[in-house]
Amino acid sequence: MKSDNEKLVSQIISETAGFEAEKLLEYVVNKFGSKVALASSFGAEDQVLTDMLCKVTNEPVIFTLDTGRMPQESYDTAQETREKYGIAIEFMFPDYRRLEQMENQFGPNLFYESIENRKLCCNIRKIEPLKRKLAQLDAWICGLRAEQSVTRTAQAKVEWDRAFDLIKICPLADWSTEHVWEYIREHDVPYNKLHDKGYPSIGCEPCTRAVKPGEDIRAGRWWWEEPIHKECGLHLGKRAENEQDDKK
């Protein structure tokens, strides 16, 4: 028997079958109102979604996780986006006491030393602030695409987020990289200038580098780790969920 959450997700999937990205966003905004928000890191996909949201509502709810280690280009994109669309973007910050404790114990570059340390840093700087925000919502919107990495190949447009207990909407799940950039050019969408410097995926400055020709688009994220480990915990992924189920 399906749970109430599964029934709701099934209902949304049924009612939005065949919807393009903007139509899906319009649907979820009408359904959830201020209880649905876009999580933006100011990458290309998030900028596309911001542009679409501003077309379907005058009061988009958009937030970002300011880890304290973001590159300046991401802040520049945030400012340009605020000014172009005349919108507010909420900045969520880590608990400074947790940051102080972590860096005093492990040092500022702990993430290079082990996967465990890197995940601790991601948890304090990203996951904990994200949980605070998601606790206020019924659904969240993400810029995930299936082709981005091996951990996202099964990404659906609508699903129940088991990690955070709410609905997750990924309108661009079936978009290609080319489709994203065609939209940005056609609609004159502000974008992060690191994309022009070989950064297809952008995160914290110390954990992101430009990719080399022929490399995977997320090869520059935590480049010292194996691809299967390259998630910070924001997006568990179907593969990880299945592995967890196998362990039960």
Amino acid identity at 210: A
> What is the structure's pLDDT at 140?
98
Distances (CA, A) of 118 to 123, 130, 194: 9, 17, 23
The contacts of residue 124 (CB under 8 Å, 6+ apart) are 94, 95, 98, 99, 102
Say which amino acid occupies 149.
S
- Residue 171 inside a domain? The answer is yes
Asked whether residue 199 is assigned to any structural domain, the reply reads no
Q: How far apart are CA 198 and CA 218, in angstroms?
A: 11
Q: Per-residue pLDDT tens for 124-136? A: 999 999 999 999 9
The enclosing domain of 99 has a CATH number of: 3.40.50.620
Q: Per-residue pLDDT tens for 6-41? A: 899 999 999 999 999 999 999 999 999 999 999 999
Catalytic residue among 121, 122, 204, 232: 232
Question: Is 132 a domain residue?
Answer: yes
Hey, how many other C-beta atoms are within 10 angstroms of the C-beta on 245?
9
- What pLDDT was estimated at residue 247? 42
Q: Does some domain include residue 73?
A: yes
Residue 223 belongs to a domain: no
Domain total of the chain: 1
Contact 194, 71 (CB under 8 A): yes
204 is catalytic: no
Angle value at C-alpha 15, between 13 and 21, nearest 5 degrees: 70
Q: pLDDT for 139-196, tens place per residue? A: 999 999 988 655 545 689 999 999 999 999 999 999 999 999 999 999 999 999 999 9
Any domain includes 225: no
pLDDT digits (tens, 9 = 90+) for 68-90: 999 999 999 999 999 999 999 99
Say how far apart CA 39 and CA 187 lie, in whole Å. Answer: 21
- Neighbouring CB atoms inside 10 A of 110's CB total 16
Position 183 scores a pLDDT of 98
Q: In what order do the strands lie in the sheet with 166-169?
A: 90-92, 62-65, 36-39, 139-141, 166-169, 158-161
Half-sphere exposure of 207 (CA within 13 A, CB side): 28
Please classify residue 174 by burial: count the beta carbons closer than 10 Å to its beta carbon, then call 0-12 exposed, 13-18 middle and 19+ buried: middle
Helices (H), the chain: 4-15, 21-32, 44-56, 72-85, 96-106, 115-122, 128-134, 177-187, 238-247
Residue 47: left (phi > 0), alpha (psi -120 to 50), or beta? alpha
Give 224's pLDDT tier (boundaries 50, 70, 90). confident
Structure tokens of 80?
A: 């340009």
Host domain of residue 105: 4-147+154-190
* Domain assignment of residue 99, yes or no: yes
Q: Is residue 30 part of a domain?
A: yes
Strand partners, 62: 38
